Amino acid sequence: MYAAKGQSVETTLEDFDIKQVLGQGSFGKVYLVQHKKSQKFLAMKSIRKDVVIEHEQLDNLRLEKHILLCVEHPFLVSMEFVFQKESRIYFLMNFVKGGELFKHLTDVRRFDEDRARFYGAQVALALGYLHNSKILYRDLKPENILMSEDGYIKLADFGLAKLLGDEMANSFCGTPEYLSPEMINGTGHDHTLDWWALGVLIYEMIIGIPPFYNQNKHKMYYLIENGSIRWPDPVKHGITVSEDAKDLISKLLDKNKTTRLG
């Protein structure tokens, strides 16, 4: 068992009422729970230890716990409590009521540029904070951006995050549509891969599909490494992209990480 964040009293599963299942992850389920004493609603991630060990993800889980306990930023999910039982570890985090950005984007297909700018700026601030803390996020996508009731966002799920010093990272991970060229070709990556993913996100928010998307994953990887950015035709597709947005996206989607914006 562990103490609550910022408190000295030990917390256990018995301190919470489980209300419903919110989702199913690779290592267990996520529940909506209510803290009996404070009546506060939280999201509880129940993680099976045997599955974590089987998939050799113990170091990643330790890092995720460290990040969630240490981050203090308005656009990042943080952890309120953490404790364990014999077979499971429990992370209790802010419950973000508005759901995933992915659902909001799917409902309307694409956002106008003002709305995309509003979300993109918050994501950029969150990434900047993580990078200043030597943390690579590595899993930016609409499914990992949660919407608060007040309309602001929170970046969630640090399962693929990595602490980085001066060396390059080399592991292959992430969502195919959001992978950077250097992740695909295995030349080593650093914080600049998160800025590439921000370019993909802004493009997808405005246009409704990732910039290099193809149903054939190998073709998509080829396009990410070698293809140019395709802009919709205002007449044919009914989508107009401003020159400012094109300029920002093009600089974020620079295939050369040393000259990439960010």
> Where in the sequence numbering do the catalytic residues fall?
139
In angstroms, the CA 228 to CA 226 distance is: 7
Query: Which pair of structure tokens corresponds to residue 86?
Result: 């014999």
Query: Which pair of structure tokens corresponds to residue 111?
Result: 């956002």
AA identity, residue 248: L
Q: CA-based angle 143:188:225, to the nearest 5?
A: 70
Q: How many CA atoms lie within 13 A of 148 on its CB side?
A: 14
In angstroms, the CA 198 to CA 220 distance is: 18
- The runs of H, that is alpha helices, within the chain are 49-54, 58-70, 101-108, 113-132, 181-185, 192-207, 217-226, 243-252
Query: Which pair of structure tokens corresponds to residue 1?
Result: 């068992």
